[in-house]
Amino acid sequence: MSVPPRAVQLNEANAFLKEHPEVLYVDLLIADMNGVVRGKRIERTSLHKVYEKGINLPASLFALDINGSTVESTGLGLDIGDADRICYPIPGTLSNEPWQKRPTAQLLMTMHELEGDPFFADPREVLRQVVTKFDELGLTICAAFELEFYLIDQENVNGRPQPPRSPISGKRPHSTQVYLIDDLDEYVDCLQDILEGAKEQGIPADAIVKESAPAQFEVNLHHVADPIKACDYAVLLKRLIKNIAYDHEMDTTFMAKPYPGQAGNGLHVHISILDKDGKNIFASEDPEQNAALRHAIGGVLETLPAQMAFLCPNVNSYRRFGAQFYVPNSPTWGLDNRTVALRVPTGSADAVRLEHRVAGADANPYLLMASVLAGVHHGLVNKIEPGAPVEGNSYEQNEQSLPNNLRDALRELDDSEVMAKYIDPKYIDIFVACKESELEEFEHSISDLEYNWYLHTV
């Protein structure tokens, strides 16, 4: 007789608590629309109750703006009495928080209706709905993220970030120095603790590289044959990086463009697809001749304008774009070409995959993945051809054509018939309402530059 799922999860909790008698508390985590982790902290004695009955959180958790305020125009706040839904644990996500002084564990949750069905506005559920379309075709998605971030000083200068002093030399970095090993050495204790913490939490982070700006780094996650789990790892990795940096008296930012004149933070995603026999359908000695690969690329490129609001969900997101920073601004693809939106690495025939290079590190990984996979599926089932790959510098050959501001991106998403087939239009309405609310507040603010330009001159 098979063990009921709830009993299986209770066994997971029992085994963890037995192995970690020192744990005092458990953080129950759920990622909101912006990818910000929210939730509750409980004592260890309450963990079994969480596995048995879940916890209540308001549905409005998924209608919060970037400041954590409910956007009432979504209909998930006062219109429904700010009513609760129920959140259940995600199996396999119970782990220690290595940065805590008081031994604490963490557990990812996902929201459900009170009757048990998944809650439509949970970004994790938005992605799951897209993944089921691949399940129907007998296809499995393999995915991995590359996450960029800045280490920054805990003290800002006039509200603006600055690189932290090196624990080794005491100096602040100012030059680019991409891939420089010495810069890894300058922050080695913090960076090594990130990798070791990831290992302790079961997050498959396999490398850290120095990126192309002062104190900017990238963590590479190993691919997994489950796109939802790949997003879980990305959410947990961001939380880990932030807290390990605090332990080293530094701060971090995943803001898309924290410094004028320096590279922004990207969130690249690598995707391949396995058939029923576990073979990569993109594998090819000559990727241009692989029909499945071409069609997947064609679908993503066709839907890329409508994806932009999910890939670049904030006002600041669009400041990241520019040829000198390797951020593609037109729907292009190429073989082993880092100037295009969709790069196809060509190192090995068996490892041919798509690298989607548009999104910023400020994107919600679940919504990013959902929108990209929607494009992939659209291309596969409709056999959409992508045109010829770009050779050489795409920025010199293709004019910017993707939305370059949040308002236009929201319009593209709202008007897209294709995206509405993959992502519940009710959810699109909620997302657009939240982001339009943020945009309205931003546009009513007055910047320092406006005061400098106009206060005494007009």
Give the pLDDT score at 184: 72
Contact between 110 and 30 (Cβ < 8 Å): yes
DSSP per-residue string spanning 263-324:
---BEEEEEEEE-TTS-BTT--SSGGG-HHHHHHHHHHHHHHHHHHHHHS-SGGGGGG-BGG
Q: How far is CA 395 from CA 71, 73, 267, 326, in A?
A: 38, 39, 20, 9
Locate 344 and state its tokens. Answer: 């196809």
- Positive or negative CA dihedral for 284, 347, 293, 136? positive
* pLDDT tens track for 199-210: 999 999 988 988
Confidence of residue 4 (pLDDT cuts 50, 70, 90): very low
Task: Show me where the domains of the chain are located.
Answer: 5-113, 131-423
Q: What is the pTM of this model?
A: 0.95
Locate 282 and state its tokens. Answer: 């993109």
Confidence of residue 245 (pLDDT cuts 50, 70, 90): very high
Give the pLDDT score at 176: 60
DSSP 3-state helix, strand, coil percentages of the chain (rounded to 5)?
40, 20, 40
* pLDDT tens track for 397-416: 998 999 999 999 999 999 99
Which residues lie below 8 Å from residue 205, measured CB to CB, with a gap of 6+?
194, 195, 198, 199, 219, 220, 221, 222, 237
Give the pLDDT score at 186: 84
Q: Cα–Cα distance between 166 and 175 in angstroms, integer?
A: 14
Mean pLDDT of the chain: 94
Give the pLDDT score at 452: 95
Give the pLDDT score at 182: 64
3-class state of residue 87 by DSSP: strand
Which residue(s) pair with 107 in the sheet?
28
- Residue 74's nearest CA partner among 453, 446, 437 is 437
Locate 389 and state its tokens. Answer: 């790959």
The yes/no answer on whether domain 131-423 falls in CATH 3.40.50.10860 is no
| Phi, psi for 140 (deg, rounded to 5) | -120, 130
Question: By percentage, how much of the chain surpasses pLDDT 90?
Answer: 85
Give the pLDDT score at 2: 38
Contact between 148 and 218 (Cβ < 8 Å): yes
Multiple choice CATH, 5-113, 3.40.50.1370, 3.40.640.10, 3.10.20.70, 3.40.980.10: 3.10.20.70
What single DSSP character describes residue 212? S
DSSP per-residue string spanning 388-399:
PPP-S-HHHHS-
* pLDDT tens track for 291-309: 999 999 999 999 999 999 9
- Residue 213's nearest CA partner among 275, 294, 148, 168 is 148
